[in-house]
Amino acid sequence: MPELTQYMILSGVPKELIGLILMLPIVATLIAFSREIIGVKGFGIYTSLIIAYAFVGTGLANGVVIFALVLISGTLMRLFIRHFRLLYLPRMAVVLTGVAFTIFLMFIVAAFYHQTEFLKISLFPIIIMIPLVEKFIGAQIERGPQAAITLTVETLVLASLSYLIITWGWLTGLILDWPLAVFPAVLIFNVLLGKWTGLRLTELVRFRELIKYVELSNKQ
Amino acid sequence: MAIPLNYLLNSRGILGINARNQHYIRPSGFKRALRIIDNKLPTKRIMKKAGIPTPETLGVIKSMRDLYRFAWGSLPPSFILKPNRGYTGRGIIIVYGKKKNERFAWVKADRSVLRIRDLQTHIHSILEGDYGKSGLSDIAYFEERLKIAKVFKPYSSRGIPDIRIIMYNKIPVMAQLRLPTSHSEGKANLHLGAIGVGVDMATGITTNAILNNTFIEYIPGTRLSPRGIKIPNWSQILSLAYQSQVATRVNFLGVDIAIDREKGPMVLELNTRPGLAVQVANLAPLGERLERVRGLKVGNAKRAVNIAQDLFGGETEEEVEEVGGKKIIGANELVEIIAGENKKIETIAKIDTGAYRSVVAKTIADAIGLDKIERYKRVRSSLGEEERPIVKAVLKIHGVAIETEVFIADRNEMKKDVIIGRKDLKQFVVDPTKNILIKKT
């Protein structure tokens, strides 16, 4: 471990915190890569990133359960109040009230069954997941329910992948050994990524009929 | 799954989102484009100044005060409510007509009823900026709803079809007819469920159609083919697209043009981030076309239209040249065999001038119910002599219907299920070098 990391740890900066900070650009790059090269975008870089970090706080299994419950309760609440014709912000507030109530119930149930692991989860990672509801509803209005579900699944996959990377012991060890190398490496990679103008993998699938047609016409 | 290298090579001319943004949108006056085009009302003002016809604005609501003072009685039975800064069709309400026996109540495309209170809530949301990208407060406005042109009426039960022209460097590069469906609530946006149809740039005749990124042969719920529709005023439409680009000075642009039954072509909207499905509907890579017009200098609309028609027209198999009043067909042609109402099938036939009478495979005849045998005839073929049944049928080749009698034969061993003989080719000239590709059905 280099002197810099040792100095920080000895001065009282938690080792996990250093790892989490250094992982941030790496995970952000992963999400950017999946957007530009693969074509999987989820609800954007911020949502996927923050949910990945929420998963770090809750654990993956608990995190996915909370993720699903937040979404389901938010959507049900929205369906329930649809006929009241409320303005946007009060409507969102009602939806969030439904989400809060569900989380409240969740803790009661966990207490009843003595799920001590679950009860140890702090509120913050749960609150972080709430903007997801707004994103989900927005996507539903704009692109329809099917697209909204696709985007949600994409976000969940991206966040879970990011979680696995954040909690990957070998990589954490590596970046603690080379803390200052992370920044230039990620910067260079992203500049190259930002200049990429080729087709995304999903586009190769989307345009398959057209590509087949081009192939046929070239043969003639 | 390994992607073959060949596949990648063939995808080179296709424009992806990354390349569209980097090579075309950003260098083409991006900031200017955002300011002008993402605000629909100022865009309309610029268009009006340049003498480009746009739908009439019926009322503008800028504040809550405007909203409460609005004279609802001034609205016609049918209109469109739009947010000034909306994008991808968000926040638009299309009102189809007035509800009978009720003052201040209207009907939407999906037949649901809309009252003043609903409109007020919606306009309130628009003013709050719920439909814009930035969330800043916005303006709502009412716009006249165009009357659908007669040619398009059978193809679109709800909503007005429009023509999206991709403009680059002042040259129309690719076009697509967008047909609203009941699923898209009368809107022409492809991702909302509208049909996209490719258009031949030279003639304005439609080619392949896609719905949700898959090819379709018929408009859902009908037996109408979206292929072969001739868009009226084609040169005028291309010229309007050119003028719109000149007026806005944005170098990469999607221009949406609709045709009003009385007023003719009008520019509906401009789009700085036109969708890429247009190249699927046209079966033509957009990147390749854009590269071909990069750097060309164009001085006037007529020249721009000519270049577009010369460069990008006539690539489709729908194109029909004529020699002495006879259409030229190739060695293989798409034919429709019709046995009666709703009993028809489309297939690729071999054009065989060595045969006199046309032959239809038994499998096809059975499928569409061609079973009324008129008589039998002995024929000699390479396989020996046999007795073949003759039935009455209608063949449709390149839009020409031919009433005729055809043989039915077992063609299980043959490549093509149908042979068209000399008897039914009197109206055509056969060019053996012309060969259509087998299309997906």
How many domains are contained in chain A?
A: 1
Helix (H, G, I), strand (E, B) or coil at B337: strand
The token duo for B235 is 């040169």
Q: Which residues contact residue B88 at a Cβ distance below 8 angstroms, ignoring those fewer than 6 apart? A: A142, B189, B191
A145: Cβ contacts below 8 Å, ≥ 6 apart: none
What is the H or E stretch that residue B143 is in? strand B140-144
Which residue of chain B has the CA closest to A83? Answer: B118
**β-pair type (B214-216, B206-211):** antiparallel
User: Please, are residues B177 and B197 in contact by the beta-carbon 8 Å criterion?
Assistant: yes
Backbone phi and psi for residue B60, each to the nearest 5 degrees, phi listed first: -120, 135
Q: Any idea where the domains of chain B sit in the sequence?
A: 5-29+148-312, 56-144, 322-430
Considering only CA atoms, which of B192, B251, B294 is closest in space to residue B37? Answer: B251
pLDDT of residue B318: 43
Chain B residues touching A213 at Cβ < 8 A: 283, 437
Q: How far apart are CA B306 and CA B299, in angstroms?
A: 12
Specify the residue for token string 């989820």: A42
Structure-token pair, residue B425: 């080719």
Q: Find the domain containing A160 and state its range.
A: 3-219
Contact residues, chain A to chain B, C-beta under 8 Å: 36, 85, 87-89, 141-144, 147, 195-200, 203-204, 206-207, 209-211, 213-218, 220
Q: How far apart are CA B429 and CA B21, in angstroms?
A: 47
Instruction: Provide φ and ψ at B46, rounded to 5°.
Output: -60, -40
Task: Return the residue in A33, A37, A211 with the most chain B beta carbons within 10 A, the one to mutate for interface testing.
Answer: A211
Residue B346 pairs in a beta bridge with B336
How far apart, in whole angstroms, are the C-alpha atoms of residue B271 and residue A167? 44
Chain A residues closer than 8 Å to B284 by CB? 210
Return the sign of the alpha-carbon dihedral for residues A112, A118, A124, A125: negative
Distances (CA, A) of A46 to A19, A25, A65, A155, A162: 19, 12, 20, 10, 12
Q: How far is the C-alpha of B434 from the C-alpha of B321, rounded, in Å?
A: 11
CA distances, A140 to each of A78, A194, B373 (Å): 11, 29, 57
Residue whose tokens read 């045969």: B355
Mean of the pLDDT values across residues A34-50? 91
Which residues does B32 contact at the CB level (< 8 Å), separation at least 6? B248, B249, B250
- Residue type present at position A183: F
**B406 Cβ neighbours under 8 A, 6+ residues apart:** B357, B358, B359, B360, B390, B391, B393, B395
**Structure confidence by residue, pLDDT tens digits, A52-73:** 999 998 889 989 999 999 999 9
Alpha carbon distance B352, A112 (integer Å): 82
3-state secondary structure of A115: coil
User: In what helix (H) or strand (E) does residue B226 lie, and over which residues does it extend?
Assistant: none
- Chain B CB contacts of A218 below 8 Å: 10
Q: Are the C-beta atoms of residues B88 and B44 closer than 8 Å to each other?
A: no
- pLDDT number for residue B93: 87
AA letter at B377: K
Given a cut of 80, whether residue A213 has pLDDT beyond it is: yes
pTM of the model: 0.72
Cβ contacts of A198 on chain B, cutoff 8 Å: 16, 18-19
> Position A23: which residue type?
M
Rounding to the nearest 10 degrees, give the CA dihedral for residues B326, B332, B338, B342: -120
Q: Which of B170, B310, B312, B329 lies closest to B253 in space, CA to CA?
A: B170
Q: With contact defined as beta carbons under 8 Å apart, do B190 and B198 qualify?
A: no
Length of chain A, please? 220
DSSP class per residue in B93-130: EEEEEEPTT-TTEEEETTS-EEEHHHHHHHHHHHHHTT
Highest-pLDDT range among A38-42, A187-191, B340-344: A187-191
Taking only the tens place, the pLDDT of each residue in A98-118 is: 999 998 998 899 899 988 878
For each of chain B's 441 residues, which pLDDT tens digit applies?
456 787 888 888 899 999 998 899 888 777 777 777 678 898 899 999 999 999 999 999 999 999 989 988 888 888 999 999 877 677 888 888 888 888 888 888 777 888 888 899 899 888 888 787 766 788 999 999 998 888 898 888 678 899 999 999 999 999 999 999 877 777 888 888 899 999 999 999 999 999 988 899 888 887 788 888 889 999 999 999 999 999 988 899 999 999 999 999 999 989 888 999 999 999 999 999 999 999 888 889 999 999 999 888 875 444 444 455 577 788 888 888 888 777 888 888 889 888 889 999 888 888 888 888 888 888 877 667 788 889 888 888 887 788 888 998 888 878 888 999 988 988 888 877 666 554 333
ipTM for the predicted complex comes to 0.78
Rounded to the nearest angstrom, the gap between the alpha carbon of residue B289 and the centroid of all alpha carbons in its chain is: 19
Q: Are A210 and B283 an interchain contact pair (Cβ–Cβ within 8 Å)?
A: yes
Q: Chain A residue with minimal CA distance to B19?
A: A197
Task: Look at residue B239 in the predicted model and tell me its pLDDT.
Answer: 95
| CA angle in degrees (0–180, nearest 5) for A48-A51-A54 | 155
Instruction: Give the tens place of pLDDT for each residue, A14-30.
Output: 988 999 999 999 999 99
Indicate the burial class of B6 (C-beta count within 10 angstroms; 0-12, 13-18, 19 or more): exposed
Return residues 280-299 of B near A (CB < 8 Å): 280, 283-285
Domain covering B322-430: architecture = Beta Barrel (2.40)
Half-sphere exposure of B171 (CA within 13 A, CB side): 23
Please give the Cα distance from B430 to B296 (Å, whole number).
38
B137 token code pair: 């407060």
C-beta atoms of A197 and B128 within 8 A: no
- What average pLDDT does this structure show over A165-173? 93
**Chain B residues within an 8 Å CB radius of A209:** 215, 280, 283, 440
Does the CA dihedral A88-B180-B16-A148 come out positive or negative? Answer: positive
* pLDDT reported for residue B319: 45
Contact A199 B11 (CB under 8 A): yes
CATH pick for B5-29+148-312 out of 3.30.460.10, 3.30.470.20, 1.25.40.10, 3.40.1000.10: 3.30.470.20
Query: Quick one: pLDDT at residue B367?
Result: 85
- Nearest-angstrom CA–CA distance, A124 and B171: 55
How far apart CA B2 and CA B177 sit, in angstroms, is 36
- Predicted pLDDT at B157: 67
pLDDT at B320: 47
